[in-house]
Amino acid sequence: MKSWWYSFTVGLLTVALIWTGYWGYTQNEQKNNLRILQETHYQRAFYDLTGSMQMVENVLSKVLASGTPEYEKSQLTLAWQQAHMAQKDLAQLPLGRNVLVQTQMFLNQLGDYCFTMANGYRQEIMAENDREQMQLLHKQALEISQHLQNLHIDISRDRFPWSNIALSKHKDWSDATRTLPEETFSNLEDQIQTFPQLIYDGPFSEQIINRSVELTGDIITEDDAKNIARSFLGVEEGRVNYKITESDEDAPIQVYSVRVIPTYGNIGDQIVLDITKTGGYIAWMLDNRGVGGSDLSLQEAQEQAEKFLLEKGYDTFNATGVIQNFNQAVVSFGEVKEGILVYPHLLKVKVALDSGEVTGFEAINYLLAREEERNWPEDALSETEAQIKLHPDFQVQRQQKVVIPLPTGKEAFCWEFKGSLDQMPFLVYIDAKSGMEVNILRFIESEYGLLTM
């Protein structure tokens, strides 16, 4: 009898051991596959960034070689578009938001300067002082492009994994890339810091980057920040640990960065929040857990994001777009004030498509741009008067009052008309005061969401 029981027990333990080993193997395989997918995404983003900067430099050289205002204008517009693409590529890399402030600022200023120049010249080529400024911009773009190409060579040669940065504690490029010989993004930042500032008051000029944002509320302590994070996430005391750091003094918003680390389970499933020192507002949140699949539709993800904002007290926001990024959906929201949709008051919510759980939240743009009062101009065009400004064949589906950001850093009260022309869908923006057509966006609905261009 004992022999039978012993054999049964050994057999059962053997099966359990084999099953545990198989389970561990499959979990490790899934983790490796996700890491490979993530690594491919980062490599593509860096490759695209390098290509975009090469295009910026190439197009600026053509601007300098142009002898006609028409071609000059077309190339300036293309330079603006490529600078915008470079910003998007840069944002895809797993770097901390404070690591590449100078690079982002240069690309923003460059793009806005080119946009302004393109819309300021009609009958003649640019003046000599503007040409000198453009020569300087071309020289700076060339230096950045060459730097990125050298860095690309080093990364390819040493097979440096981008995921090292994604998994590093502080997204610190210099610590995570000690295996690289010389060319680092830290060097690039130092190099760009030596560039003279553009003679242009754009949306990311020094005055705006360094200005203090007037937030309302009391100054909070680190303990307050910890309690705010716990309440926002709904986690139980004792199940997580906290690590808190402070933002740089020159950051546009002073925050406590709160890292929430699980006491048990996967220590990599951390959540990071930026909480403003004044008022205790949540400026940014990211849950680093892995996302397993895409079980929810984008509409369901949007509904989860809307529910999340309502629970957090953001009850004046409407969804303005949703797009799929791998197994997550990013839903954008604009605030509605006095019946006006204010696009600069932007919130973003990231939703995991495997569970509907909110894994990201961003309110930085909202905190930077929000104003308590926005009054529709008394002398504004009526809906009918604004609609007359549209192309006669444009088929209007709906219209609404909006506030939109301009490339100059200003804002404009507009009538937004959604409709189509020749079966192509567009959003057309008519300035409510001047009647000028200030922007046109073409949008494409795909399985990955609503794309505008």
Digit-by-digit pLDDT tens for the chain (453 residues) are 555 555 656 566 665 666 665 556 555 555 555 555 566 667 777 778 888 888 888 888 887 777 677 778 888 888 888 888 887 777 777 665 554 666 777 787 787 778 767 766 455 667 777 778 888 888 888 888 888 877 777 666 655 666 555 555 444 444 444 444 334 555 555 555 554 544 332 222 233 333 455 788 899 999 999 999 999 999 887 788 898 988 767 667 888 989 898 887 666 678 889 999 999 999 989 887 778 778 899 999 999 999 999 999 999 999 988 887 768 888 989 999 989 999 888 899 999 999 999 999 999 888 888 766 778 898 899 999 999 999 889 899 999 999 988 766 678 999 999 999 888 888 889 999 999 888 877 776 766 666 665
Q: Are 415 and 438 in contact (CB under 8 A)?
A: no
Long-range contacts of 319-323 (CB under 8 A, 24+ apart): 321/449, 321/450, 321/452, 322/298, 322/449, 322/450, 323/298, 323/448, 323/449, 323/450, 323/451
Determine the residue type at 258.
V
d(CA 378, CA 432): 10
DSSP 8-state code for residue 180: S
Q: At what angle do helices 185-193 and 128-158 cross, to 10 degrees?
A: 160
Distance, in Å, from the CA atom of 302 to the CA atom of 430, rounded to the nearest integer, reads 28
Check if CATH label 3.10.450 holds for domain 383-452.
yes
Q: How far is CA 266 from CA 89, 217, 250, in A?
A: 30, 36, 34
* 128-158 vs 2-65: helix crossing angle, rounded to 10: 150
Cα–Cα distance list, 242 to 167, 173, 236, 257 (Å)? 18, 23, 12, 10
Intervals of CATH 3.10.450 along the chain: 383-452
Q: Check: CB of residue 239 under 8 Å from CB of residue 262.
A: yes
- Model-level pTM greater than 0.85? no
Cβ contact 127:72 at 8 Å: no
Q: Quick one: angle between helices 2-65 and 69-91, nearest 10?
A: 160
